Structure 1
């Protein structure tokens, strides 16, 4: 397959992507505009959040296995560094664009500030389909990309992590490449690494665990208990799969699932351990015998108590928001709900736990990993999970309280808290020169 085919053709299995979704950066800007009236004396700094601090576009050339030379376009965007070094994942996906990466970096700024982590927001990505490349090609792509962005990343500058299409092996290659270029082993340059290279226990499950914690806390305050609840999950990878497993273990009934290969349902409940084993063996949900295939449109209308969009951004548009039959939406993905759809869900009385709160478990445990790498002292998995619970519940409590006091949505409350922290730091630091 040529590089042109890799970067422009939509691969099979991505049919659930919604081409009608607005550009992610436009959604982020609208979210900032909505929170601006709540900024008080900090309002003069709001424009700071509409302008990424640094945008890097790089060419990533490699030799493919067949001997041809292919070029890929890569990005690293540092949205805001007022509160600390940049923090955010690296995405390998055929639909990656600069617009998307800008929005993802902005949401990382909000997420890190909302959880009061000492980071700014950043994000990276390369436009390619990792399933269309060999392991050797992916290693060459990762190493060249890391070398190209090496000037802007570092343990005290910008710390990448896994995202869609990347994993702990990707982070190992990034860490090794950066270390070779600086002349010493630098474990803290990335998080989400293998345990043997300074990774943290609990990191692999952290995002999905955080989604479950957020759902549980929302359910407690809304009288929607997890036990016996019906759950619908879009995305069955590292986030959706782990969240679904935790719902299942807590006594919920997962009645519909969707991944890149299939959309399935079973009103009696899907055997999640069996589904996870099927995906591990076959690479996707397609062909899983414990449920019935349904259409994408029917998926969004499956009755549930909890709906977890844990795939990609721009999935819940106004039309889908009108058909969703759930009590609580818990956003496992980044930016899955557009502002217009958000309004419809609110008007229909459906509670939305926003991405910048619900999926913050991953970056929280990445923070723990970064701290452990600096100190060369590592915590037990129980300690990791306990600290994650404490930080997630503390953030949720503060956001819920503010939303109740101001009579605003959880998303608006999260943005108020986060933007106040970021803009206060900007004001206190001043402008240089």
Structure 2
């Protein structure tokens, strides 16, 4: 009784499990998996509390001479199994609770795929579309300087995320290196090839989504060729996954991005669409498909549904409309727990984000290893290693799911939380 009172009253408001935001969803997921942790359950509060959260002010001079201030974050959720690892996003809706959840999901993801990393995440609350390249460079460099005391090749390794890319990582690496007085290529991953980046990194997350989808199809005895696919998001993740489905003979019948939704029941030519978006703001207006409403996207009958945009896209408001056999989460946290239950009851086979979109951090791990050794692999070797690791991770989680009679998501959390808490237990508490 005492521990219950202590736990309840010691949680700040943003740690409230009744919060329906991303952090609240993560806390619900931990509560669901706790009964399967056995004696390790005594350590479960470790998973509900980030190890370190840093909020920084990012002041910069804009091109017009005015001074602007942005709020930046870096959260290290857990480092029991290794240094923190996770992306940095630039988005106008970034907030502490979201970054906490994303960091926590990185802990789960890295452990589920058995990478020697903990979980971390970063972000700046900024609408990147409204600022010039030079302004974004100044924002990135100031942010890197502010969080520099807690990041490093053996502490916490950032990577690209929403609205950041290899150029952003180059600025971060250079800023950190200048402050350290020595070139440190391993401080970030997702860098340009010229600075120690890894071949295959740009397509890694989308390729991992495709591999996970193929493994799930095997579980259901479903062929990929000729199947119908829906993809939400057409960036590196959704675009790559869509292309690989297309090249395997699947029909990508509906795609949605920030500009709208397009549909073609005979399948959209992904190569043509990729060429189209190079010269246009998004997919809308593509002449080989018909525009439909964003709400209708969810009701299109498919074999595979790939949400590869942002979190909280599939909720109790649209879960009943979904007509798919396999949902493969390309984004982080796209499905709320309530929607997850609805889809599971409908017989939808859900491959959770912590497995399906782990391709990016897997190749980031390869990049980190290559930077330390100064020995680099070919793109073919990278892709082979990625596909093998993704297949092994899916199969181990699938076996746990069958053993306990639980969903793949719960099984992934069982595998990941067990690995994290075993490390926590054998390390003990210091001092």
TM interval, shorter chain, is over 0.9
Question: Which structure 1 residue ranges, 5 or more long, are not aligned?
Answer: 1-20
Query: Counterpart in 1 of 2:16?
Result: none
Q: Which of 406, 414, 420 is the aligned partner of 2:418?
A: 420
1:46 aligns with 2:33: no
Query: Counterpart in 2 of 1:277?
Result: 275
May I ask how many residue pairs the two structures share in their alignment?
413
Q: Which of 368, 372, 375 is the aligned partner of 1:374?
A: 372
Shift of 1:286: 2.0
Query: Counterpart in 2 of 1:317?
Result: 315
Distance in 2, matches of 1:154 and 1:303, equals: 46
Q: Which of 100, 103, 106 is the aligned partner of 2:104?
A: 106
Shift of 1:22: 2.9
Distance in 2, matches of 1:244 and 1:158, equals: 32
Shift of 1:288: 1.2
Shift of 1:319: 2.1
Shift of 1:177: 0.3
Shift of 1:225: 1.1
Q: Which of 208, 223, 229 is the aligned partner of 2:227?
A: 229
Q: Which of 359, 362, 365 is the aligned partner of 2:360?
A: 362
Give runs of aligned pairs for residues 5-44 of structure 1, distance below 5 A.
Answer: 22-44=20-42
1:264 alignment partner, SS class: strand
Asked if the contact 1:22–1:314 (Cα under 8 Å) also holds between the matched residues in 2, the reply is no
Distance in 2, matches of 1:294 and 1:94, equals: 27
Asked if the contact 1:209–1:246 (Cα under 8 Å) also holds between the matched residues in 2, the reply is yes
Distance in 1, matches of 2:29 and 2:102, equals: 13
1:239 alignment partner, SS class: helix
Residues 298-335 of structure 1, C-alpha deviation per residue, up to 9 Å, x if partnerless?
01101100000000000000121111000000000000
Query: Counterpart in 1 of 2:13?
Result: none
Distance in 2, matches of 1:277 and 1:35, equals: 44
Asked if the contact 1:307–1:330 (Cα under 8 Å) also holds between the matched residues in 2, the reply is yes
Asked if the contact 2:260–2:294 (Cα under 8 Å) also holds between the matched residues in 1, the reply is no
Asked if the contact 1:28–1:103 (Cα under 8 Å) also holds between the matched residues in 2, the reply is yes
Q: Which of 196, 199, 206 is the aligned partner of 2:197?
A: 199
Q: Which of 141, 147, 150 is the aligned partner of 2:148?
A: 150
Which of structure 1's runs of 4+ aligned residues deviate more than 3 A? Answer: none
Shift of 1:271: 1.1
Residues 73-102 of structure 1, C-alpha deviation per residue, up to 9 Å, x if partnerless?
110000000000000000011111111100
Asked if the contact 2:359–2:390 (Cα under 8 Å) also holds between the matched residues in 1, the reply is yes
> CA-atom RMSD, angstroms?
0.8
Distance in 2, matches of 1:297 and 1:210, equals: 27
Asked if the contact 1:109–1:121 (Cα under 8 Å) also holds between the matched residues in 2, the reply is yes
Query: Counterpart in 2 of 1:132?
Result: 130
Residues 190-228 of structure 1, C-alpha deviation per residue, up to 9 Å, x if partnerless?
000000000000011000000000000000111221100
TM-score where L is the length of structure 1: 0.95
Give runs of aligned pairs for residues 277-316 of structure 1, distance below 5 A.
Answer: 277-316=275-314
Distance in 2, matches of 1:225 and 1:90, equals: 36
Q: Which of 204, 207, 213 is the aligned partner of 1:215?
A: 213
Distance in 2, matches of 1:73 and 1:164, equals: 16
Shift of 1:338: 0.4
Of residues 348-357 and 276-285 in structure 1, the stretch that sits farther from structure 2 once superposed is 276-285
Distance in 1, matches of 2:56 and 2:360, equals: 26
Asked if the contact 2:260–2:293 (Cα under 8 Å) also holds between the matched residues in 1, the reply is no
Question: Which structure 2 residue ranges, 5 or more long, are not aligned?
Answer: 1-18
Q: Which of 373, 378, 384 is the aligned partner of 1:386?
A: 384
Query: Counterpart in 1 of 2:186?
Result: 188
Distance in 2, matches of 1:52 and 1:180, equals: 29
Residues 275-313 of structure 1, C-alpha deviation per residue, up to 9 Å, x if partnerless?
111111113112211111111110110110000000000
Shift of 1:103: 0.4
1:55 aligns with 2:53: yes
Distance in 1, matches of 2:165 and 2:227, equals: 31
Q: Which of 336, 339, 348 is the aligned partner of 2:337?
A: 339
Residues 140-181 of structure 1, C-alpha deviation per residue, up to 9 Å, x if partnerless?
000000000000000000000000100000000000000000
Distance in 1, matches of 2:340 and 2:181, equals: 48
Residues 248-269 of structure 1, C-alpha deviation per residue, up to 9 Å, x if partnerless?
0000000111111121111111
Query: Counterpart in 2 of 1:8?
Result: none
Query: Counterpart in 1 of 2:120?
Result: 122
